[in-house]
Structure 1
Amino acid sequence: MNNSMISAMVSMNSIQQRLDLIADNIANVETVGYKSKDSSFEDVLNQVQHHHKDFNLTGRATPPGYSMGYGMRLASIVQNMEQGPHKETGIPLDLAIEGNAMFAVQGNGGGIAYTREGGFHVSPDPGNLGFVQLVNNQGYKVLDQNDNPINLPANGKVAVDTAGRVWVESAAGRRIAAVLKLPELQRPEGLVQMDGNLYTLGAGLTEAEVFDTAPAAPGEAPKSEVKSGFLEQSNVQYADEMTKMMEVQRAYQLAARALSSSDTMMNLANTMRG
């Protein structure tokens, strides 16, 4: 009875964690650039319990033992980095990526963070009058291919082409002011999700271990393209998440019933008199 109670309790805790992940996905079904999360589980202290030797009869087809575990636990959280659908906005600084690349921004503390959310705009540069900075919706500075913030003339007209080149048109003519940093994601498991729909490198990892930062060879088509006037939507499939939620709720109810049954059996055993 103790084993069944422990197994049910541990399983309920793990199922609750999965419910939290599903709820997080559903809450961000309309979040631009959001990537859904999934989870994997593993047995807790699974072992083989051997039968008494009397069960080892001649002609037995199955091994004399049975598997006994203590529930399951959350083993890992997996990011689904599949591309979401693109929605046209008509705003030149709304950018979406066709491919596996990510935008780079200057996160808290000056470190580099990565995102697929391309809702950018310009903000005045307080330390450089006459210039503006390209920032995202959280106010983080967008970085160029040299990991520097992108500064633009305040009186210029800004456009971004498919290669990520930032063009500025002013009275002095039309020129390339910067090139967006667009590293190609190779190892999604090397990223850690942060607040604000941002990702950072996992502990001990370098950018070269997670991203392919080599530019396309001369004459070779770019690995990813930037689409101006579009935003990438969340890749969460609402119907799939609701189906998962119902399945997990049923599993939670079953584990709760097993816990209740174990508690009832224990109470009966405690009240038995010889």
Structure 2
Amino acid sequence: MNSSMISAMVSMNALQQQLDVIAGNLANVDTAGYKRREASFEDVLTQVQQHHKDFDRTGRSTPLGYTQGFGMRLSSVVHNMEQGLMKETGNPLDLMIEGEAMFAVQADGVIAYTREGGFHVAPNLDVPGNVILVNSQGQPVLDVNNQPISIPNEGKVAIASNGDVIVETSQGRGVAATLKFVELERPEGLVPVGENLFVIGNGLTEADVFDLTLPGPGQPPKSTVISGFVEQSNVNMTDELTRMMEVQRAYQLASRALSNSDTMMNLANTMRG
């Protein structure tokens, strides 16, 4: 197998992975809080191949040798955490974060983080007569003490911009809990686990990934909660479709290069015979 066939085959594999990333983005264009994935590529191997000495002519302005590559490979896939557009729902339990913070939920016994704020209530099996705040997958939303937020079933609920869960009942009105939303500082420390959720990578702590410092006296918070809105996906369908067309054309060219290389090898074998 010659180098042209290797380069075309390796590039086709990388381009297929890029198409898979784009397809995933397009599938989640209407998923609230979804963060689009972006793929990065690198050369597999690049080397300088020397020309024959007969190419060294008098007056030649360039040195002997030419660069020979062997295709590209997928080096990393990262999530673009850019904020999506606002969508008004009118539901006081639908929340959106204005800023770079993330909500915390309890998922399979661990703390996970998400930008999706389409919350609702579910029965609290541990406290009869109370309900807990959950996300769209039924996972409990956590407060600043990493505990599920439990509120009386008959209470009217409102969420303040600082995350305070205000409950009004026949006994009065008060703050039942405060939502936990932490400022994202190092996105590379998060690992996606599906369902729009991220967990902290192995060996890291919450302080390594999030900025846990509180604003000083008189300083505005870095992020605020907006009730009655949800954050839409930050996937731009036009950009993704354009990118898909570019990748498909590149895949076709690599496929044609592989086919032409195979044809040339067959011709060389026939002439040799």
Q: Distance in 1 between matches of 2:111 and 2:90?
A: 28
Matching of residue 171 in structure 1 with residue 170 in structure 2: yes
Q: Which residue of 2 aligns with 1:128?
A: 127
Q: Distance in 1 between matches of 2:202 and 2:263?
A: 47
Q: Deviations over 1:54-89 (max 9, x none)?
A: 333444322211111110000111211110001000
Q: Which residue of 1 aligns with 2:104?
A: 104
Q: Distance in 1 between matches of 2:92 and 2:4?
A: 60
Q: Distance in 2 between matches of 1:139 and 1:72?
A: 42
Q: Distance in 2 between matches of 1:44 and 1:75?
A: 10
Structure 1 segment 242-261 matched on structure 2, within 5 A? 242-261=241-260
Q: What is the identity, as a one-letter code, of the residue corresponding to 2:175? A: I
**Offset at residue 273 of structure 1 (A):** 4.3
**Offset at residue 10 of structure 1 (A):** 0.5
Q: Which residue of 2 aligns with 1:8?
A: 8
Matching of residue 140 in structure 1 with residue 139 in structure 2: yes
**How many percent of aligned residue pairs carry the same amino acid?**
66
Partner secondary structure for residue 236 of structure 1: coil
Structure 1 segment 1-274 matched on structure 2, within 5 A? 2-108=2-108, 110-273=109-272
Q: Distance in 2 between matches of 1:63 and 1:165?
A: 69
Q: Distance in 1 between matches of 2:187 and 2:25?
A: 18
Q: Deviations over 1:153-190 (max 9, x none)?
A: 12211110111111111112111111111110111121
Partner secondary structure for residue 149 of structure 1: coil
Q: What is the identity, as a one-letter code, of the residue corresponding to 1:196? A: E
**Offset at residue 202 of structure 1 (A):** 1.8
Q: Distance in 1 between matches of 2:33 and 2:143?
A: 20
Moved more, 187-196 or 25-34: 187-196
TM-score, normalised by the number of residues in structure 2: 0.97
**Offset at residue 3 of structure 1 (A):** 0.6
**Offset at residue 219 of structure 1 (A):** 1.6
Q: What is the identity, as a one-letter code, of the residue corresponding to 2:5? A: M
Q: Distance in 2 between matches of 1:273 and 1:75?
A: 40
Cα distance 1:270–1:178, how it changes in 2: closer, same or farther (>3 A)? same
Q: Distance in 2 between matches of 1:197 and 1:38?
A: 15
Alpha-carbon RMSD: 1.2
TM-score, normalised by the number of residues in structure 1: 0.96
Q: What is the identity, as a one-letter code, of the residue corresponding to 1:167? A: I
Count of matched residue positions in the alignment of Structure 1 and Structure 2: 273
Partner secondary structure for residue 240 of structure 1: helix
Q: Distance in 1 between matches of 2:129 and 2:63?
A: 80
Partner secondary structure for residue 216 of structure 2: coil
Unmatched segments (≥5 aa) in structure 2: none
Q: Distance in 2 between matches of 1:125 and 1:18?
A: 44
Unmatched segments (≥5 aa) in structure 1: none
Q: Distance in 1 between matches of 2:206 and 2:231?
A: 23
**Offset at residue 18 of structure 1 (A):** 0.3
Q: Distance in 1 between matches of 2:58 and 2:263?
A: 39
Q: Distance in 2 between matches of 1:161 and 1:202?
A: 31
Q: Deviations over 1:114-155 (max 9, x none)?
A: 101000011111121121111001011101111111111122
Q: What is the identity, as a one-letter code, of the residue corresponding to 1:95? A: L
Q: Distance in 2 between matches of 1:63 and 1:79?
A: 42
Moved more, 257-266 or 51-60: 51-60
